[in-house]
């Protein structure tokens, strides 16, 4: 059985850890509220912009003239995993990395893969692999703004137009609620057709100024950048939700461990007192026998 000093040191250590996990939970909760507000405000805008683009494209005989919708034989693939810069958020980062590895092994087997990691954890995970790495945007979360995210989106879009990549894929955690984040493997380029099944308004007679071509050329890049930014915001909110949940569980586990350690401490202390009493009684009996 451990001595009292060892048990007391463990109790002190666990109490200190519990205080840290409580503080991290509170910090994540505050950050989550701000991140959640951003993504909740972004979703309607992104959905409406996509709807407008689909309607205008349908009214102009599809997306045949949209360069970002050009489909080619897939040889070179750019995968963009979005993770966090820090750990202690459960399986948040691991799930994204696993999804990328699974996509490479199944969906893109035999293709030339390039990784553009967003987030320190993704960069650290893939820099040890044989993939070609574009690390310019790995520290994007240190200053998360639309301008910085737009730069990463424009890199992928320009590379697609130049023919460097035939397909661009985003892998990120979609925010559902505090306890639930779902990994999404989403095709970014070429633009996927809208298979939502919603009724299109292709028969609507639009009045477009200055021209239909100009509107599409302006809408498509904007829509893609917003889609990219939305994925990064989803991941940001998911990170804080995952960390909040992980720290909450860690705090509860620390509490359970403290109960066991305090019970052990009391038993050890009681055993020590009992031994001392026995020694005193034995000594008194020995003296009385003389």
Decide: 154 and 136 in contact? Cβ < 8 Å: no
Any idea which residue has 């692999």 for tokens? 129
b/e map 20-56, b = 16+ CB within 10 Å:
ebeebbeebbebbeebbebbeebeeebeeebeebbbb
Q: Rounded to an integer, what distance in angstroms lies between the CA atom of residue 135 and that of residue 123? A: 7
What span, in angstroms and rounded, lies between the C-alpha atoms of 26 and 48?
34
- How far is Cα 122 from Cα 94, in angstroms, rounded to an integer? 9
Q: Give the three-class secondary structure for 229.
A: helix
Can you tell me the distance from the alpha carbon of 164 to that of 28, in angstroms, rounded to the nearest whole number?
A: 39
**What are the catalytic residues?**
89
Q: Which residues contact 13 (CB under 8 A, 6 or more apart)?
A: none
């Amino acid at each position: 059985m451990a001595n009292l000093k060892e048990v007391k040191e463990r109790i002190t250590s666990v109490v200190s850890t519990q205080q840290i996990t409580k503080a991290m939970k509170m910090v994540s909760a505050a950050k989550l509220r701000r991140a959640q507000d951003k993504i909740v405000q972004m979703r309607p805008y992104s959905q409406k912009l996509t709807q407008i683009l689909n309607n205008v494209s349908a009214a102009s005989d599809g997306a045949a003239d949209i360069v970002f919708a050009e489909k080619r034989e897939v040889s070179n693939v750019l995968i963009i995993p979005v993770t966090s810069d820090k750990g202690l958020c459960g399986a948040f980062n691991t799930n994204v990395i696993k999804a990328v590895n699974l996509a490479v092994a199944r969906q893109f087997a035999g293709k030339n893969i390039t990784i553009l990691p967003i987030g320190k954890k993704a960069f650290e995970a893939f820099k040890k692999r044989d993939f070609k790495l574009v690390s310019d945007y790995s520290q994007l979360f240190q200053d998360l703004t639309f301008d910085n995210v737009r730069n990463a989106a424009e890199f992928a879009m320009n590379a697609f137009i130049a023919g460097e990549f035939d397909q661009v894929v985003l892998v990120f955690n979609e925010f559902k609620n505090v306890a639930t984040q779902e990994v999404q493997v989403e095709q970014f380029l070429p633009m996927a057709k809208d298979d939502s099944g919603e009724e299109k308004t292709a028969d609507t007679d639009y009045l477009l100024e200055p021209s239909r071509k100009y509107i599409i050329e302006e809408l498509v890049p904007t829509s893609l950048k917003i889609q990219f930014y939305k994925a990064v915001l989803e991941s940001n909110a998911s990170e804080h939700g995952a960390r909040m949940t992980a720290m909450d569980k860690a705090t509860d586990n620390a509490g359970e461990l403290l109960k066991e350690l305090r019970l052990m401490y009391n038993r050890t202390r009681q055993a020590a007192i009992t031994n001392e009493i026995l020694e005193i009684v034995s000594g008194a009996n020995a003296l009385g026998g003389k």
